[in-house]
Amino acid sequence: MRTWRVGTFSMGASLVLLGLFLFLSRFLGFDLVHVMSAWWPILLIVLGIEILLYLFFSRQEKPLLKYDFVSILFVGLLGMVGILFATLSATGVMGKVEEVVAREEMSFELPDFSHQVDDSIKRVVLRTVGYQTTIEATDEKEVSMFGTYRTQTTKKKKLLTTADEYVHANKKGDTLFINVKTLPNEVGPFYSHPEVASTILIPKGVKLEVIGNGNEITLNTRNLENNWSINGASSLFIKVVEDGNLNIAALGITEANGKDGAWKITEKVDPNVEGIEKDAVYQSGEGTYDITITNTPYVSLNSN
């Protein structure tokens, strides 16, 4: 009398098929996650075949039926793992896990931005976000922005395709408002914020007001021919030329650096503010064009 151990054939066939899938994935480039989430229905087919074989042989003889509980438990465990992978894949969790595992840090260029400035525009108001920004005066009759950003991505996919995704320009009367946007960013413990280093060119004869957001700002004053004001930067680096014509006033700062004797510093004590605040003034030439700095604790002066 033949003894039929239900589960033994299923376990053996499952191991063979799983091993075959994994072996082929090494050479054919199959995704392991997709293999684990897609192959498990074969277990049902294998179990069905085993039952059909049992019915076929039972017609010719009376086999003694026994259950191989270890094999059945193993096959069930494999099935549960496959179902778990499939469930996670259907809910999108597995896709996020794959993305986290496959991502890498890469640098890309910002899509170039430019906005024509005609004679009706007398003032530009620039609102920045928490990225490193360089602002420079230019002879061109346009506001332009370019630079690079670094982010975590998969398959070299860029975050930005057009300039509208990170900057917006809006003209109201004689003022052009430029708002820099925060780059798209995934929220989660395994994601890092994109890093941006940008340069913004401002027509030299237009008045500029910069609204910082606690970010590092660098000013290049080489061609400056109007008044600028900067408010709310974390630190400000100013590049000046020897034959410039500037009057720089940094109000309520904590520290001012630069070559010896460049700044004229006045200390003041405010009972409502902890520590000693300073007003620092620098002048080159006749000081025709003003740069006013407020709510910026650190200012540094450098020669161009």
Average pLDDT, the chain: 80
With beta carbons less than 8 A apart as the criterion, state whether 117 and 142 touch: yes
pLDDT given at position 96: 60
Q: Is the pLDDT of residue 1 over 50?
A: no
pLDDT given at position 63: 55
Name the residue range of residue 141's domain.
Answer: 105-303
Same domain for 110 and 245?
yes
Q: What is the pTM of this model?
A: 0.68
Same domain for 110 and 179?
yes
Same domain for 35 and 133?
no
**Tokens 């450098």 — which residue?**
302
Can you tell me the mean pLDDT for 122-151?
94
Angle formed at CA 194 by CA 189 and CA 198, multiple of 5 degrees: 165
Q: CA of 193: how far to CAs of 33, 74, 107, 187, 294, in Å?
A: 27, 44, 13, 9, 27
- State what percent of residues in the chain have pLDDT above 90: 45
Between 100 and 16, the more confident residue is: 16
- Beta strands 113-116 and 142-153 are antiparallel
Same domain for 201 and 91?
no
Concatenated DSSP letters of 161-221: SSGGGTEEEEEETTEEEEEEPPPP---STT----EEEEEEEEETTSEEEEE--S-EEEEE-
- Which of 71, 102, 133 terminates a domain? The answer is 102
Quickly state the pLDDT bin for 93 (edges 50, 70, 90): low
Quickly state the pLDDT bin for 104 (edges 50, 70, 90): confident
Domain tally for the chain?
A: 2
Same domain for 65 and 131?
no
- Dihedral, CA of residue 271, residue 275, residue 276 and residue 282, to nearest 10: -130
Same domain for 168 and 266?
yes
Which of 67-71, 236-240, 288-292, 299-303 shows the lowest per-residue confidence on average (mean pLDDT)?
A: 67-71
Q: Is the pLDDT of residue 102 over 60?
A: no
pLDDT given at position 159: 84
pLDDT given at position 14: 67
Can you tell me the mean pLDDT for 116-126?
95
Same domain for 27 and 97?
yes
Between 102 and 147, the more confident residue is: 147
- DSSP letter (8 states) at residue 284: -
pLDDT given at position 192: 64
Q: CA of 69: how far to CAs of 5, 91, 152, 216, in Å?
A: 9, 32, 47, 67
Task: Please choose, from the candidates 234, 77, 217, the residue with its C-alpha nearest in 3D space to the C-alpha of residue 136.
Answer: 217
pLDDT given at position 88: 59
Same domain for 176 and 287?
yes
* Per-residue pLDDT tens over the stretch 162-211: 999 999 999 999 999 999 999 887 655 555 678 899 999 999 999 999 99
Between 254 and 98, the more confident residue is: 254
For helices 8-28 and 41-58, what crossing angle results, to 10°? Answer: 140
pLDDT given at position 153: 74
- State what percent of residues in the chain have pLDDT above 70: 62
Quickly state the pLDDT bin for 151 (edges 50, 70, 90): confident
Same domain for 145 and 285?
yes
Same domain for 177 and 280?
yes
86 vs 146: CA distance, rounded Å: 44
Same domain for 284 and 184?
yes
Can you tell me the mean pLDDT for 12-36?
64
- Which of 47, 73, 102 terminates a domain? The answer is 102
Same domain for 179 and 266?
yes
pLDDT given at position 30: 60
* Per-residue pLDDT tens over the stretch 34-77: 655 566 666 667 766 766 666 666 655 555 555 556 666 666 67
